[in-house]
Structure formats: C-alpha cells, structure tokens
Amino acid sequence: MYSILKHTHMTFILLAIVIFILRFFWLKSGHVNAQKAVYKKIHLHTHLTIIVLGLALMGLLHFNPFVESGYWLLEKLIAFVAYFAMVQVALNEKTKKHIQWLAFIGAFGWLAYIAKLAFTKQAILLVG
C-alpha cells in the first residue's frame, strides 16, 4: 500500500508541475487555453489530490507534524501553501508581468525546498 501511495503522490506532483509550466507558457504566449476553466479545475484537482495522498501517507506511516520529530512535515505543508500561493499569482492574468515571472520562479524555489525536506526529513525553520 505504501509503495502505491508514494508513487501515485510523486506522479501527481510531476503532473502538477507539468500543468503549471504549460498553463504559464499558455498565459505568456496568449494561447486561447490559458484561462479556460477546465484547465484551472484540472490543476486545482491535481493539487487537491497531492494533499489527500500526502495526508494518506502521513496516516499510513503514523507521522505527526506537531511533534518535534515531525516538524519537517509541518514545514513541508507550510511550504506547499506558499508554493500554491505563488502558482496562483503566476497564473493570474491581472498580475503585472514581472510579478508573474517572479512568482513563477518563486514557485520552483518552494518546490526545491519541499523536495529538500522530503529527502532529508530535517526541519530548517521550525527547529526547536
């Protein structure tokens, strides 16, 4: 069960990244699909699935983000919220173009931080 959850979680993460890059490219090139509701919903549901699978993995592995040994997971959840906010700013057509680019790059910075936390399982910001 663990292997299925883990690989599905990672697959949806990759899918979310690909959709994010595609939607950003569409937005920058003025493509007709850039702001279609169906692609927004697919992207949102991909993120929702990532959260649900992550929570399922937490439950399966008995991780608690509110104890000192699980602070890395709490940081990961907070970083995911920051990543999601950056994605929303980057894909908002009303946002200034230079802010969109900063948010696009910032989203990948948060993704790198999330990956670092996933591999090392060591908190940086919430060290107690």
Query: What is the spatial distance between Cα 66 and Cα 88, in angstroms, rounded to a whole number?
Result: 27
Q: Where are the domains of the chain?
A: 2-120
Write out pLDDT tens, residues 4-45: 999 999 999 999 999 999 999 999 998 988 888 999 999 999
Q: Which two tokens stand for residue 122?
A: 């060591």
Which amino acid is located at 28 in the chain? K
Res 127 pLDDT > 80: no
For CA atoms 102, 25, 78, 6, the dihedral sign is: negative
Write out pLDDT tens, residues 66-109: 988 889 999 999 999 999 999 999 999 899 999 999 999 999 99
Considering the entire predicted model, what is its pTM?
0.91
Query: What is the spatial distance between Cα 25 and Cα 18, in angstroms, rounded to a whole number?
Result: 11
